[in-house]
Amino acid sequence: MADTLRLPRADGTLTSYRLAGATPVTPPGGPIRSRIAYAAVHVVADPLAAINPTLEAALDWDATLAYRRYIWSLGLAVAEAMDTSQRGMGFDWATAKELIRRAVAEARGIPGAVIASGAGTDHLEPGPRVTLADVEAAYEEQCAFIESVGGRIILMASRALAAYAKGGDDYVKVYGRILAQVREPAIIHWLGDMFDPALAGYWGSHDLDRATETLLAIVGEYAPKIDGVKISLLDQAREIAMRRRFPRSVRMYTGDDFDYPTTIRGDGERCSDALLGIFDVIAPAASAALHALDGGDLARYGVILAPTLPLSRHVFGAPTRFYKTGVVFAAYLNGHQSHFKMVGGMESARSVVHLAEQFVLMDRAGLLRDPDRAARRMRRVLAVAGVE
User: Each residue of 226-243: pLDDT tens digit?
Assistant: 999 999 999 999 999 999
Rounded (5°) CA angle 369-371-374: 90
Q: Distance (Å, rounded) from C-alpha 334 to C-alpha 84?
A: 18
β pairing state of 4-8 and 14-18: antiparallel
Residue 327 within a domain:
no
Residue 215 within a domain:
yes
Residue 17 within a domain:
no
Residue 322 within a domain:
no
Q: With contact defined as beta carbons under 8 Å apart, do 329 and 348 qualify?
A: no
Q: Cα 20 vs. chain centroid, distance in angstroms?
A: 28
- Amino acid letter, residue 6: R
Stretch (H or E) spanning 15: strand 14-18
The domain that holds 110 is classified in CATH as: 3.20.20.70
Q: Which residues of the chain have pLDDT under 70?
A: 1-2
Concatenated DSSP letters of 143-205: HHHHHHTT--EEE---HHHHHH--SHHHHHHHHHHHHHH-SSPEEEEEE-TTT-GGGTTGGG-
Residue 361 within a domain:
no
Give the chain's radius of gyration (CA, Å): 20
Residue 357 within a domain:
no
Instruction: Return the pLDDT at 266.
Output: 96
Residue 103 within a domain:
yes
Residue 388: other Cβ atoms inside 10 A: 7
- What DSSP character marks residue 286? H
Instruction: Return the pLDDT at 2.
Output: 54
Residue 68: other Cβ atoms inside 10 A: 23
Q: Give me the number of domains the chain comprises.
A: 1
Largest CA distance in the chain: 63
For residues 230-242, one letter each, b for 16 or more C-beta atoms within 10 angstroms of the residue's C-beta and e for the rest, the string is: bbbbbbbeebbeb
Instruction: Return the pLDDT at 125.
Output: 86
Residue 169 within a domain:
yes
Instruction: Return the pLDDT at 161.
Output: 96
Q: Show the domain range for 68.
A: 34-308
pTM as predicted: 0.97
β pairing state of 37-40 and 77-80: parallel
* Cα dihedral across residues 161, 164, 170, 176: positive or negative: negative
Rounded (5°) CA angle 192-197-203: 50
For 6-48, the pLDDT digits (tens) are: 999 999 999 999 999 888 998 988 899 999 999 999 999 999 9
Residues 6+ apart with CB under 8 A from 164: 130, 131, 132, 135, 170
